[in-house]
Structure 1
Amino acid sequence: MKLETKIYNYCTACYKLTNHTVKGLHTVEGNWDYQTTHHYAVVECNGCNNVSFRKEVIDHESMEYDPDSGSYFPQTDVSYFPKALEGHRNELETHYIPDNIIAVYQDTIKAFTSEAYLLTGVGFRAIIEAICIDQKIRIKDFEDLKQQIDKMYQKKLITLKEASRLHTIRFLGNDSIHAMVVPKKEDLHVVLHIIENLLNNLYVIDQQIKGGLEKMIPDFAGFRTLLNFRLNKFVVGDSISLGKLLEKSARRLGDQASEFEKELISKIETGQYTKLGLGEIKPNPDNTKPDIQYYVVLDLSYDKDASF
């Protein structure tokens, strides 16, 4: 290796092997009784100009056979710094995720990067535990992780397929903790992908689309907030149907539209929602569908019970 020579090196910014130029070099030869060469180099990526450190150890007394050329070459071991998890693009927007979960996630990534695969398996399991605690799934101290994952599915926080994948991580973590089974590197990469998708689905995506893309209304509190927002387009005394009030936003209610309207009528009748009053009921132009309930706009002031 010489200064300004081109070498193939892993780039921690490009996330792959790229051509690098040697910018700084210090070489140390081994002792007379065992022939080795140590190259310590500062290298620069020819693509993105990222600078890193490379250590290359050539063992002249341990030869490896290359069947393609039919020749023997000294065994070479290469490491680079800062050390990175090869092939992993860490694009998770961690500022959206609770601190206690991110602390476990980052420690697990450090263990994976350091090739501590047993601890990595334990860490991935711990991330699921941290999520369950944050989502208030874990109510009893003696409740095991299987029950907690099942509860996440029952509460519709995850799909059935996601629950199955989390059980796979639970098995891997249990084997690491209780049986000291070291997971395979390739299996841990799959698990990391599952974990990051879960964190994105639970914490990141909803925050990213706030004030932008429309999302489904999950409960009456969200429906009430939507009503209050849409009411600003009308004046006191207007008589409107729910369809007219919501217009295209009605699609955000999904199959819960009728249940939300029933709860709205109940809250109007009991005085728990005072911005609208019950108006007349008119026949639906489509004879196959129920009659239409109309509402009268009564109040456009701030709703203290709405969720924001």
Structure 2
Amino acid sequence: MRKEFEHTLEKNVYCSRCKNETKHSIIKSHRRGSFQEIEPDFHWQEAFHIVECAGCQNISFVNQYGDEDTWEYDSGEKIYRDVYRVYPEKPIEDTQEYRIEQKFKKRYWLKVKQFSHVPSTLYNLYEQIIQSYNENLNILCASGLRILLEGICKDLNVKKGFIYNKNKQIIKKDGERDPKKRESLEGKFFGLYDDGYILFNHALILQKILYVGNGAIHEIVEPDKLVLKQIINIVESILENTYELEHHELLKED
């Protein structure tokens, strides 16, 4: 049998005046539950308390509920625990979850940037990438980034390109007399450089992005959050340089 409600709440609850969880004394209670039934199939009990904070004497209302399923293991033993809800409720900004969320937003949260000349299909995908990033759907975010970059190549009609090393030397495959352009995504990324859309360092970074995206798509490897943020910043700069700069007001004729 669960023990009867006592004159003091068994659990400290939030006090809107103390701004903390404190001990509360019960002033008045109303109880109901399966004890009112004859041979109940399911045992439950609920109480509605008017309570007073033991520290500041603030008055609150508390709902206390427990049944056969409100239990948890404690040191290997099954312990029944009631669920308490206090009114006025604890403001969300006072909860640990809220503070963690705000800390995350301050360090990682990204806003969708406005691009006026990026094709709508690519921009819609970009918006979904930012949403998945902010919702911690990191594998989907990395996959979307890879797809977006491939979409940029397709939109700009970049189908292939030479592959370079870090010293801007074209890499030849074994047995090749003359280097050939590659139709792989790696080649297309360098093709963006060949065609003047991005800088050489951008092209090198895109190879790293390709590695992260392939890991997410083919091996279900979740990338690091900070790495994703850096990749998104690079991709945003490519969208800006490729689609927006040519329409900048400073380039307009007087």
Q: Give the TM-score category using the shorter length.
A: 0.5 to 0.7
Pick the structure with more strand per residue: 1
SS of 2:157's partner is coil
Matches within 5 A, 1:31-42: 31=66, 33-34=80-81
| Counterpart contact for 1:122–1:173, Cα < 8 Å | yes
C-alpha separation in 1, matches of 2:138 and 2:117? 27
Cα distance change on mapping 1:178 and 1:3 into 2, 3 Å: same
Counterpart pick for 1:92 among 107, 113, 120: 113
* Identity of matched residues, %: 19
C-alpha separation in 2, matches of 1:88 and 1:99? 23
1:114 corresponding residue in structure 2:
135
Higher relative contact order (CA 8 A, sep 6+): 2
Counterpart pick for 2:214 among 164, 174, 182: 174
2:178 corresponding residue in structure 1:
none
The gaps in structure 1 that reach 5 residues or longer are 8-25, 44-53, 58-75, 215-225, 230-308
Deviations 1:100-122 (A, max 9, x none): 11111111112112111111110
C-alpha separation in 2, matches of 1:98 and 1:159? 21
Cα distance change on mapping 1:156 and 1:56 into 2, 3 Å: same
2:97 corresponding residue in structure 1:
77
Deviations 1:270-306 (A, max 9, x none): xxxxxxxxxxxxxxxxxxxxxxxxxxxxxxxxxxxxx
The gaps in structure 2 that reach 5 residues or longer are 1-13, 21-60, 71-79, 161-181
Q: Kindly provide the amino acid, as one letter, of the partner of residue 207 in structure 2.
A: H
Counterpart pick for 2:150 among 129, 132, 147: 129
C-alpha separation in 2, matches of 1:192 and 1:201? 14
Cα distance change on mapping 1:185 and 1:37 into 2, 3 Å: farther
Deviations 1:47-105 (A, max 9, x none): xxxxxxx4876xxxxxxxxxxxxxxxxxx433769x97864452622232110111111
| Counterpart contact for 1:152–1:158, Cα < 8 Å | yes
Matches within 5 A, 1:197-236: 197-209=237-249, 212-213=250-251
SS of 2:183's partner is coil
The alignment's C-alpha RMSD in Å is: 4.0
Q: Kindly provide the amino acid, as one letter, of the partner of residue 135 in structure 2.
A: S
Length, aligned pairs only: 165
| Counterpart contact for 1:101–1:127, Cα < 8 Å | yes
Q: Kindly provide the amino acid, as one letter, of the partner of residue 186 in structure 1.
A: L
| Counterpart contact for 1:93–1:204, Cα < 8 Å | no
SS of 1:168's partner is helix
